[in-house]
Amino acid sequence: MRSLLILSLLFLAKTWSKPSCPPTSILSQDGSKCFYVFPIFTTFGTAEAVCEARSLRFGSIDNVKDNVAVSDAAHKLFKRLGETTKMMWLGGIFDQQKKKLVWINGDNSTYMPTGVKNKVVRSVGYARHNGVGCLEMEVDSGLWFSTDCLTPVPFLCEGDSFDN
């Protein structure tokens, strides 16, 4: 009887627990992941390596609420730090010929912010990188742009949330 009570309490604790993230990160809308904005200026490839070195993934965004939450948090962080940059790497690559966005972490989301879908993803300097561009977010608007992967800007990582 006592073991049944303990099992019931454990089940209830798990049922009532809510996903959470560390204080400086952003909980995703569905509660499955935490977003981390890194205000470190680096290239796309180095940003991916930093995420991996911290046991995180390069960030992908799959809905409007997460897009707004991430862009707002990044905008506030950059402003507080006195940064003038408006751009931040997301973990995606856009193939201009195939008109397809590919997320580095394997996410198969097709979400793109309104305004971007009609323009596909605004291409900047494709001649420099053979029609494949790395994905940036403009933090003021939340819109995404495909650009040269060697431009040093801050970046977004993600990791799994945890139950508290």
The confidence score (pLDDT) of residue 114 equals 66
The confidence score (pLDDT) of residue 101 equals 85
The confidence score (pLDDT) of residue 44 equals 95
1, part of any domain? no
Give the tokens for residue 112: 């793109």
Domain count for the chain, please give it.
Answer: 1
144, part of any domain? yes
The confidence score (pLDDT) of residue 26 equals 96
Q: Report the DSSP beta bridge partners of residue 138.
A: 87
The confidence score (pLDDT) of residue 116 equals 54
156, part of any domain? yes
The confidence score (pLDDT) of residue 94 equals 82
The confidence score (pLDDT) of residue 86 equals 92
Give tens-digit pLDDT for 105-153: 988 888 888 665 444 445 444 444 456 789 999 999 999 888 889 999 9
- The CATH number assigned to the domain holding 65 equals 3.10.100.10
Q: What Cα–Cα distance (Å) separates residue 146 from each residue in 50, 54, 82, 129? A: 21, 25, 25, 11
The confidence score (pLDDT) of residue 146 equals 85
3, part of any domain? no
H/E stretch holding 90 reads: strand 87-95
Which of 154, 133, 4, 30 has its CA nearest to residue 83? Answer: 154
Percentage of the chain lying above the pLDDT 90 cut: 55
2, part of any domain? no
Query: Rounded to an integer, what distance in angstroms lies between the CA atom of residue 148 and that of residue 127?
Result: 9
Domain of 74 in residue numbering reads as 25-163
The confidence score (pLDDT) of residue 9 equals 46
12, part of any domain? no
142, part of any domain? yes
82, part of any domain? yes
Q: Which ranges of the chain have pLDDT less than 70?
A: 1-16, 114-131, 164
